[in-house]
Amino acid sequence: MRRRRAAVAVGFCASFLLGSVLNVLFAPGSEPPRPGQSPGPSPAPGPGRRGGRGELARQIRARYEEVQRYSRGGPGPGAGRPERRRLMDLAPGGPGLQRPRPLRARPLPDGVPGWPPAPSLGSPGPGPRLGCAALRNVSGAQYVGSGYTKAVYRVRLPGGAAVALKAVDFSGHDLGSCVREFGVRRGCYRLAAHKLLKEMVLLERLRHPNVLQLYGYCYQDSEDIPDTLTTITELGAPVEMIQLLQTSWEDRFRICLSLGRLLHHLAHSPLGSVTLLDFRPRQFVLVDGELKVTDLDDARVEETPCADSTDCILEFPARNFTLPCSAQGWCEGMNEKRNLYNAYRFFFTYLLPHSAPPSLRPLLDSIVNATGELTWGVDETLTQLEKVLHLYRSGQYLQNSTTSSSTEYQRIPDSTIPQEDYRCWPSYHHGSCLLSVFNLAEAMDICESHAQCQAFVVTNQTTWTGRQLVFFKAGWSQVVPDPNKTTYVKASG
């Protein structure tokens, strides 16, 4: 497998140098064409279970029109009856949801519409938008992963910046199942690629600090398919829940706060209330500690239509919720509530309460319980998360929780203790006890609560909330000079 992934990365870099496209690459585990060998003709089209090419053309047109709607500004609550489909929520380990259907490039013989025009993209920050020219001399290509439709690669641009590239996975389930059913490789690529185009449009329309940044895109011709699409985005690290559970509460709270801000933005977006039908940790990445949504091809804007509340059942594996049906014939807040309950069951319940400061736990428990019961909406949830941030950042959570230390400490400026570490949990460093504190009184209180602690070293480093990082030590037999630290040791006697 490692050899195959290495071969994919080498072929990926070479493809740009030779003027070919990322999209002709095969994901790890498949065999690329031999040199000089074309991928071969598409299989002869069969009638298919759903009407052959005519059905494929209908699906492509539906996705084309969806992308056009989002490009123009998005639907209101009544812009077309949404496709009824089984959410991934209901099928853990099962067949999963039937994904939305994608796109195409130049006019096809069967009269399917051409590519929607590329979205009007603003600047990603300093510098112009990236296009095909930026991909001609990339280096350090690495396969990151793939899903139902897309493959993701990490590359380094000529200027040194690392970015992510997304393209339709030619060995993926989406394209493969379509080709087996319809036998039309180009049309099936366009169907799959409309997901990528939809995601590109939504990344632009939903711009927010907790939405992955779109840097640009590139249309190029591959060997047998014209106008294959590659998107260029901000690079993030995958969300690994096991690793997150071992991090500090402050960092875990930051992820939950990021998610709360994102859900508030999605509920009040310029397109309307946006729901993420495929809501799992793998749809998010971490960028400098902030959680960002990266996968938007299964996002939906339309609220669910209803005749009465029996049409408004929000189903999850552990429980169901019945929401009211509005006088206008739409399930009230279903998009928002689906996002919120998924945030509870995938993030809040694991990351919020554990190892939190004791005085904050009642408020954190209220947030977890209210989102688990859907008694709050995203507005109230975000209000309470911001309240936790204020209490923590301002030090108000320490009132009535810290006591005046009965132990006296000797201050040794411009010094540190290089050894004599002990482990505590959760710590910013796995080999020592490194915690953040609001002030010196909290550092002393922590040291008093640890049986091993005989000293602590205050650094000049701070966390995202502005709190100082402090090493707690089991002894102080060796104190050495360090202009960036101050040591406090328990006074003898």
pLDDT tens string, the chain, 493 residues long: the values are: 444 444 444 444 444 333 333 333 333 222 332 223 333 344 444 444 445 678 999 999 998 888 888 887 644 443 333 332 222 222 223 222 222 233 333 333 333 444 454 444 443 444 458 888 888 888 999 999 888 899 999 999 988 899 999 999 988 889 999 999 998 888 999 999 999 999 999 999 999 999 999 999 998 887 678 888 999 999 999 999 998 988 999 999 999 999 999 999 999 999 999 999 999 999 999 999 999 999 998 999 888 999 999 999 999 998 999 999 999 999 999 999 999 999 999 999 999 999 899 999 999 999 999 999 999 999 999 999 999 999 999 999 998 665 666 789 999 999 999 999 999 988 888 889 999 999 999 999 999 999 999 999 999 999 999 999 999 999 998 999 999 999 999 987 5
Q: Using an 8 Å Cβ cutoff, are 351 and 255 in contact?
A: yes
221 catalytic residue (yes or no): no
Residue with tokens 């995938």: 346
Q: In what order do the strands lie in the sheet with 455-462?
A: 409-412, 486-490, 455-462, 468-473, 433-437
Distance CA 401, CA 180 (A): 65
Distance CA 57, CA 42 (A): 17
Query: Rounded to the nearest 10 degrees, what angle do helices 361-373 and 334-343 cross at?
Result: 130
Counting beta carbons within 10 angstroms of the beta carbon of residue 492, is it exposed (0 to 12), middle (13 to 18) or buried (19 or more)?
A: exposed
| Segment holding 71, helix H or strand E | helix 52-72
pLDDT of residue 23: 36
Closest CA to 151 of 125, 121, 171: 171
Residue 461 identity:
Q
Residue 82, number of CB atoms within 10 A of its CB? 15
Q: Where are the alpha helices (DSSP H) in 245-333?
A: 249-267
pLDDT of residue 426: 83
Structure token digits, residue 318: 């552990």
* Catalytic, out of 169, 227, 278, 421: 278
pLDDT of residue 110: 36
pLDDT of residue 485: 96
Counting beta carbons within 10 angstroms of the beta carbon of residue 202, is it exposed (0 to 12), middle (13 to 18) or buried (19 or more)?
A: buried
Helix (H, G, I), strand (E, B) or coil at 415: strand
Residue 392 identity:
Y
pLDDT of residue 402: 56
Helix (H, G, I), strand (E, B) or coil at 333: coil
